[in-house]
Each structure stands twice: as C-alpha cells, then as structure tokens.
Chain A
Amino acid sequence: DIQMTQSPPFLSASVGDRVTITCQASDDIRSFLNWYQQKPGKAPRLLIFDSNILDTGVPSRFSGSGSGTDFTFTINNLQPDDVATYYCQQYESLSPVTFGGGTKVEI
C-alpha cells in the first residue's frame, strides 16, 4: 500500500490566516493526489484534483501544489466556513487507493 502521511492532524488558526497542510506519500504518486473537505455530519467534498486543479465552484482561496511524494494544500484568508477536516487521497496505486489521516481545522 502507498501510505499517505498528513500533517498536522489538528490546527487552530484565526480568520484571515493562511493555513498549510502537508501530505507525504510513501512512494512516487506523480500528481495523482486529491484533496477533500469534510464538515461534521456531511459527505466529503472534492476541492482539488491532480495536485493543483481546483474543482468547479471551489473558492480560489484554496490551492494545492506538489508532485512525486510531497504535496501541500493551502487555504488563504481562512473563513469561518472553512472549519472542517481535510483529507488527501492518492490514486497512483489502486491497490488500494489511500487517504491521509485527515487534518481538523478549527478557528
């Protein structure tokens, strides 16, 4: 399995801050890396796919970068609505597709 190590597991920031989450893959996954947002009691929502492509309707304050084994997810100008848990997901290997452990973002 390709292990996805996401950090930090928890972060607290203020409205307007820039927040950065990292995801490290145990093997080269090229750019096959997605980011999801999950609010309490809700299904995940796709934010970014293929490392840095913003999905339709996602605010531009969200961004992603990286390739190979190291990836970064950034929220610029953190808003109260961004309180959620964020997950990375690799799909370079389908045996299996794996998620990071999640980062809970609070304000």
Chain B
Amino acid sequence: QLLLQESGPGLVKPSETLSLTCTVSGASMRSVDHFWGWVRQPPGRGLEWLGSIYFAGNAYSNPSLKDRLTLSVDPSQNRFSMTLYSVGAADTAIYYCARVRRRAARPGPHDFWGPGTQVTVSS
C-alpha cells in the first residue's frame, strides 16, 4: 500500500526558510511512470501547484515562486523535499506531497496524496 507522509516545522518566522520532506513507503520512487510533487492550500482557499520532480532530478516549478523554491529527490531514501526561501504570511498553508503520474512525458494527475502538514508563517 502506497503511503506518503509530509514532515517539517509547523511554524516558520517571516524571511526564514521552510523545508519539508515527504517520505514514501510501499513503492519505489525510481518508477519511470511517476513524478513526485507538492501542492499547497492557504486557509479557506483553493489548491496551488508548487512543482513536480522526477527520480532522476528533472524538476518543474511554479514560476510564481520564482527563485524561492527548490525541489530535490533522494530515491535511495525514498523521500523528496522542497525548500522555500524568504517565506512570508502568504506562504501560510497546508502543504501536500503527492505521487504524480507521468502522462505524455510530463507530470499529470496527482493520484496519491499525503495527509498534508500545516505550516504557519509568523513571528
């Protein structure tokens, strides 16, 4: 059974760095048919795609985050991570990790999700 679990700090100070890790169990991250991704949801709002990364390291990120977001993957440890720099109040959200099916040679539907982790940016 595939399981994904996010981990990281629940509280981050403004201008600091947020790092989250997603641990995958029940499947290998070296699947050629999948990417691994991040989506967030601000309180009371809709879903925002952050990015997706392949086990080989090829990554796609949301341009709105410009140079603030870095994605990384460690298939040997069955985990992948995101780092968001210079956080502000607008980065307060539930952060989800997900497995992403590779369709038409691109990241497609997000078919398995972690339960999500709440991150609050506040001093």
Contact = CB atoms under 8 A, between A and B. Distances in A.
A binds B: yes
Interface of A: 32, 34, 36, 38, 42-46, 49-50, 55, 87, 89, 91, 94-102
Interface string B5-33: 00000000000000000000000000000
29 contacts: A32-B103, A34-B108, A34-B110, A36-B110, A43-B98, A43-B114, A43-B115, A43-B116, A44-B47, A44-B110, A45-B113, A46-B109, A46-B111, A49-B103, A49-B108, A87-B46, A87-B47, A89-B109, A91-B109, A94-B107, A95-B63, A96-B63, A96-B64, A97-B49, A97-B62, A97-B107, A99-B49, A100-B46, A101-B46
Interface residues of B, number: 26
B33 to A, nearest CB: 13
Contact of B108 (A45, A87, A91, A95): A91
Contacts of B114: 43
A50 B48 contact: no
Given A34-B108, A50-B103, A99-B46, A43 B113 contact: yes
